[in-house]
Structure 1
Amino acid sequence: MGACHAFPSIEGAIMSSASPRNMTDYEAVYRSFRWERPEHFNFATDVIDVQASGRPEALALLWSDEGGQARRFTFAELRRHSLQAARFLTDLGLRRGDRVFVLMPRIPEWWFIVLGCMRAGIVFMPGTPMLTAKDIRYRLAAAEARAVITEASCLERFEGLVGTGQVKHWIALGEVPSPWIRYAPEEGTATDGVSFEPTRADEPMLLYFTSGTTGMPKMVLHTHASYGLGHTVTGRYWLDLTPEDRHLTLSDTGWAKCAWGKLFGPWSQGACNVVYDYRGRFDAPRILKMLETQRVTTFCAPPTAWRALVLQDLSKYDLSAIRHAVSAGEPLNPEVIDSWKAATGLHIREGYGQTETVVVVGMFPALEPRVGSMGKPSPGFTVSVIDEQGQEVGPGQEGDIAVRVAPERPVGLFQGYLQDDAANEACRRGDWYVTGDRAVKDADGYFYFVGRADDVIKTSGYRVGPFEVESALIEHAAVAESAVIGVPDERIGQRIKAYVVLAPGYTGSPALATELQEHVKRTTAAYKYPREIEFVTELPKTVSGKIRRAELRGSAR
């Protein structure tokens, strides 16, 4: 039970109809877990094709959009479509190792194309449709992309870019003008006899660009093993998936979270991947109705979505099919967790990881939840809190979250930052990979997030994590969302400033600001109260939905 296996052993794991609880004894699983390190591994052939062979009619992808359209695909159909995609791309002349920038909304073709890239050994680079032409230009140049694949509705994002740089193929779905090539693999594209040379597990598979919360995005290189095989831990132990599940993760296709919960995680366990394609602003009632009608059994959402969902009257929706709920991206306020549990009986279990990793810390189903904690280390990972010298600190002491990479590097960790020796050196401290996040670990091994190392506020001799203050603020009924930063102050080093988005029905005023300050003093240590409060209509965020505190600090100077 404790081992995470590569193909062919993975076949037994994903084909079985095991208990809905893949982990009933955390310590036993953690102790017995061993990574298998195959010489060859390809998620498309070693997972999707195994499913297509053993369960050809099992539902793999259940897609719908806000207009009421719906499409369903079995594993056999997924195999066929992805083979057609691979054939289409290679017929154009794309070869193993070529980098392809894929910017598409949540449509089934995105999954066909990225699986097709995997089959052919083409390195895909996901991007969100929210990127600007400037963002895209940077990515295409930095990665030396050989092709672009998008949808007709996104062509304006590439204005002024077509024909520039090293991009040779400009491909798009739908009716597109020259020099764009129409993506139409199903028009006579045969798959019989289509095969590709075996893929080494350590070959490059995809490039992600970091969120860029503190600087220009870095290129994160993953191999077929690090994400394709590594996310078995995410799907089996944290998402707790089985072949009987219908799983929904709320994520854009451009985010690493999509790989976690809309690609490798669910399909590594043979679960059905539920996709809801919405193009406008987040609509909490619509999402809740979709959870009800699609009978979603396991659900993952980012904190921004969870905060909006619990503001609804949850009693109006039949959410009884949901048996497991998780959150990742940023810490989730305990108040939100309590609201969801009161309505559904389910604790939202947090998980921690990065674009660079699979889930490395999680509140796994076998763990007793602790308020404010993100859980314990994932099977296959040694995670700790270390100091500047690379030494582990004691319980209750704040330090840097780090993953041990020596003497053996975990499978589910990225290969490195591409073309960035300085970043690769900066994230290594002795035998540890340093994540850049701060935390405290208690005597029982539970982790408590403090904040990004750059976000921690030093005020009056104290160190304050912004999340502590934000969590206290959101307990107040007037607060829908908040972001906290440190502002330079000659007297106390930094003073705490809060940006507050108000809940419906509230209006910002000096009196309300004072009320919120007093509320924080009562809720947490008095020195953590925000000396300044600014009411705003929205907070600056990265394309993956994380708050850009660096931008707030820059504007506050």
Structure 2
Amino acid sequence: MRTGTAAATAHVDRFVLDRLPPAEHWPQIRLDESLYCYPSRLNAASILLDRAIERGWDQRPCMGLGDDMWTYADVADCANRIAAVLVEDYGVVAGNRVLLRGANAPWMVAAWLGVLKAGAVAVTTMPLLRAAELAKVLSKCEPAVSLCEAGMEAELQKVTGGPIAIWGPDGDLNVAAAVKSGEFTAVDTAATDPALLASTSGTTGDPKVAVHFHRDLLVIADAFEPILRAGPDDVFVGSPPLAFTFGLGGEVVFPMRAGACTWFCDEPGPAALAELIARRQATVCFSSPTAYRAMTMLDPRPDLSSLRCGVSAGEWLPRSTFELVEHELGLRLNDGIGATELLHIFISAPDAEIRPGSTGKPLPGWEAAILDADGAPVPDGRPGLLAVRGPIGCRYLDDERQTVYVHNGWNFTGDVYVRDADGYFWYQARADDMIISSGYNIAAPEVEEALLTHAAVAEAGVIGTPDAERGMVVHAFVRLTDPSSATDALACELQDHVKASIAPYKYPRRITFCAEPLPTTPTGKLQRRGLAAPLGE
């Protein structure tokens, strides 16, 4: 039975199914079976894990942390034991939600796979979330049980009355799993049964929760295969948390689909990531432009020559950063744009087709267009709203904002892009990062890019701040390579540098020098709202 044939749900608990958007609010799902042909019944964890064992990969390295490497057989054993605990000890049935809270580690991945094997729906959460933020996720998803790493349970305990199973030294989950057999037959889920609830922040702080199916987890790996060309000998690393779908794909789904292994970073930051790359001779890295740029500036810098593929996403990749990384590391970064709503990257380019400064072209099976606010096509060379459709689409869990993201079958990502005559897509700004000053539209990333080409600038972030005459003015926050060089004269020099690089009206009329690194989100993106906070914006 193929993807176009409906299959009965395995979900006993219809909580998620009953909270999907009405059919008329769904985007158009375009699943090209010549590219993505899956059976109508599949369990993603079984495909990623059990299929690996069947292929004889059981003793291959799968994932490691510190000096501890788990084989595929180790991961399968742990995932099966966790699935058995959920079903036998907590009464979990197919369709129940299970919240996961933990750092990037083999136990976290085994827990995620165990949830899927049990037919439940994984609710991934960022480790840095506090009680108030967790409460919003709990309210939306209503998990039957939570699985939590030891030491991270305090915030969760403040807001849930449900059971929490702890993994870690002497954790009750470890104890319960130890007495299970290590054998578990994955629940026979439909390819279109929900497998994952992924949260993304709204502008009000009220999270939106995207629903993704078992099939979707395979689609993202198969769509990105022309970029990665991954094989069993590859060693993956990355910086994003696994609760961020960029990290889940790049550090778990993609390597497991290829029979490769992943080493997780046990400390945050580019320096630790660079050390890990050198120590483990990593070949594939998933991280942000900010992190790649920071790795080029390490002194001393570890040997990163083992990398053959660096995937950059989560924020725009400036051409200056691409060229810096290529010059310093000999690595041509594969830029990409993805979205939590669409699970992973949908526009990128393989090495031979990279055009520095461009995000690339739609991946196989994806279609992208530049449209205006009314949904009409915008001519090539002119900016407009990026709209995409393909094998995965936005499906918010019981959220009226579905109709904001989806129009006329298209997913609108909130990004302003230009498409050129050759079909390449060029990022301009987030739609809400456009600064209107004296009637001119100015894209904050463009000004940041101009600043970053100055030798004195290590980091740059740009926002608009109120101005009585112009409505808004461009305000740049700059961290220098040498903080002691911050002077009014250098500020003027930077302004002149921007005027010489891009249209003069775009130059930053205000510059604030920052001694500390610019604020970023837990996923490594520049947090422009954090720039405004010191000003009381």
Which range, TM-score by smaller chain? 0.7 to 0.9
The answer to whether residue 302 in structure 2 is matched with residue 336 in structure 1 is: no
Q: Using a 3 Å threshold, how does the CA distance of structure 1 residues 481 and 434 change in structure 2: closer, same or farther? A: same
Unaligned 5+ residue runs, structure 2?
6-30
The answer to whether residue 420 in structure 2 is matched with residue 442 in structure 1 is: yes
Q: Using a 3 Å threshold, how does the CA distance of structure 1 residues 57 and 121 change in structure 2: closer, same or farther? A: closer
Question: For residue 39 of structure 2, what is the aligned residue in structure 1?
Answer: 38
Please give the residue correspondences for 1:110-189 in structure 2 after superposition, counting only pairs within 5 Å. Answer: 110-158=108-156, 160-163=158-161, 167=162, 169-174=163-168, 181-189=172-180
- Structure 2 CA distance, aligned partners of 1:479 and 1:170? 47
Deviations 1:113-165 (A, max 9, x none): 100111111111111221112111221122212222112221232352353xx
- 1:371 is displaced (CA, Å) by 2.4
- Percent identity of paired positions between Structure 1 and Structure 2: 31
The answer to whether residue 275 in structure 2 is matched with residue 301 in structure 1 is: no
Question: For residue 107 of structure 1, what is the aligned residue in structure 2?
Answer: 105
Q: Using a 3 Å threshold, how does the CA distance of structure 1 residues 302 and 128 change in structure 2: closer, same or farther? A: same
The answer to whether residue 511 in structure 2 is matched with residue 533 in structure 1 is: yes
Please give the residue correspondences for 1:425-436 in structure 2 after superposition, counting only pairs within 5 Å. Answer: 425-436=403-414
Helix, strand or coil at the partner of 1:343: helix
**Alignment check: 8 A CA contact 1:263 1:273 kept:** yes
Aligned partner (choices 469, 479, 482) of residue 501 of structure 1? 479
- 1:350 is displaced (CA, Å) by 0.3
Deviates more, 1:372-381 or 1:122-131: 122-131
- Structure 1 CA distance, aligned partners of 2:392 and 2:306? 31
- 1:347 is displaced (CA, Å) by 0.8
Question: For residue 396 of structure 1, what is the aligned residue in structure 2?
Answer: 381
Question: For residue 55 of structure 2, what is the aligned residue in structure 1?
Answer: 54
Q: Using a 3 Å threshold, how does the CA distance of structure 1 residues 235 and 266 change in structure 2: closer, same or farther? A: farther
Q: Using a 3 Å threshold, how does the CA distance of structure 1 residues 139 and 51 change in structure 2: closer, same or farther? A: same
**Alignment check: 8 A CA contact 2:393 2:411 kept:** no
**Alignment check: 8 A CA contact 1:457 1:463 kept:** yes
- Structure 1 CA distance, aligned partners of 2:326 and 2:153? 43
The answer to whether residue 275 in structure 2 is matched with residue 289 in structure 1 is: yes
Question: For residue 319 of structure 1, what is the aligned residue in structure 2?
Answer: 304
Question: For residue 81 of structure 1, what is the aligned residue in structure 2?
Answer: 78
Q: Using a 3 Å threshold, how does the CA distance of structure 1 residues 197 and 254 change in structure 2: closer, same or farther? A: closer
Question: For residue 259 of structure 2, what is the aligned residue in structure 1?
Answer: 270
- Structure 2 CA distance, aligned partners of 1:389 and 1:58? 55
Question: For residue 12 of structure 1, what is the aligned residue in structure 2?
Answer: none
- 1:517 is displaced (CA, Å) by 1.2
Deviations 1:284-315 (A, max 9, x none): 1x32232122111112211221121011257x
Aligned partner (choices 543, 546, 555) of residue 522 of structure 2? 543
Helix, strand or coil at the partner of 1:141: helix
The answer to whether residue 185 in structure 2 is matched with residue 200 in structure 1 is: no
Q: Using a 3 Å threshold, how does the CA distance of structure 1 residues 320 and 283 change in structure 2: closer, same or farther? A: closer
- Structure 1 CA distance, aligned partners of 2:223 and 2:299? 31
Please give the residue correspondences for 1:418-429 in structure 2 after superposition, counting only pairs within 5 Å. Answer: 418-421=397-400, 423-429=401-407
- Structure 2 CA distance, aligned partners of 1:252 and 1:46? 23
Q: Using a 3 Å threshold, how does the CA distance of structure 1 residues 264 and 103 change in structure 2: closer, same or farther? A: same
Which amino acid in 1 is paired with 2:273? I
- 1:222 is displaced (CA, Å) by 0.9
- 1:97 is displaced (CA, Å) by 1.2
- 1:507 is displaced (CA, Å) by 4.4
- Structure 2 CA distance, aligned partners of 1:524 and 1:5? 50
TM superposition score normalised by structure 2: 0.88
**Alignment check: 8 A CA contact 1:225 1:412 kept:** no
Deviations 1:346-371 (A, max 9, x none): 2111011111122110022341x222
Question: For residue 209 of structure 2, what is the aligned residue in structure 1?
Answer: 219
Helix, strand or coil at the partner of 1:300: strand
- Structure 2 CA distance, aligned partners of 1:37 and 1:290? 36
Question: For residue 16 of structure 2, what is the aligned residue in structure 1?
Answer: none
Which amino acid in 1 is paired with 2:46? T
- Structure 2 CA distance, aligned partners of 1:78 and 1:352? 30
- 1:215 is displaced (CA, Å) by 4.1
Deviates more, 1:516-525 or 1:505-514: 505-514
**Alignment check: 8 A CA contact 1:238 1:351 kept:** no
- 1:374 is displaced (CA, Å) by 0.7
Helix, strand or coil at the partner of 2:306: coil
Question: For residue 26 of structure 1, what is the aligned residue in structure 2?
Answer: none
The answer to whether residue 356 in structure 2 is matched with residue 371 in structure 1 is: yes
- 1:331 is displaced (CA, Å) by 1.0
Which amino acid in 1 is paired with 2:127? P
Helix, strand or coil at the partner of 1:101: strand
Which amino acid in 2 is paired with 1:277? D
Question: For residue 10 of structure 1, what is the aligned residue in structure 2?
Answer: none
- Structure 1 CA distance, aligned partners of 2:426 and 2:379? 14
- Structure 2 CA distance, aligned partners of 1:32 and 1:223? 17
Which amino acid in 2 is paired with 1:46? I
- 1:244 is displaced (CA, Å) by 2.1
Deviations 1:446-503 (A, max 9, x none): 1111121111112233222111011111122332222211223343332111122233
Helix, strand or coil at the partner of 2:321: helix
Question: For residue 486 of structure 1, what is the aligned residue in structure 2?
Answer: 464
Q: Using a 3 Å threshold, how does the CA distance of structure 1 residues 300 and 283 change in structure 2: closer, same or farther? A: closer
Aligned partner (choices 345, 348, 367) of residue 359 of structure 1? 345
Which amino acid in 2 is paired with 1:247? F
- Structure 2 CA distance, aligned partners of 1:539 and 1:287? 19
- Structure 1 CA distance, aligned partners of 2:293 and 2:519? 17
Aligned partner (choices 188, 191, 216) of residue 182 of structure 2? 191
Helix, strand or coil at the partner of 2:175: coil
- Structure 2 CA distance, aligned partners of 1:336 and 1:97? 44
Which amino acid in 2 is paired with 1:56? W
The answer to whether residue 503 in structure 2 is matched with residue 512 in structure 1 is: no
Deviates more, 1:496-505 or 1:91-100: 496-505
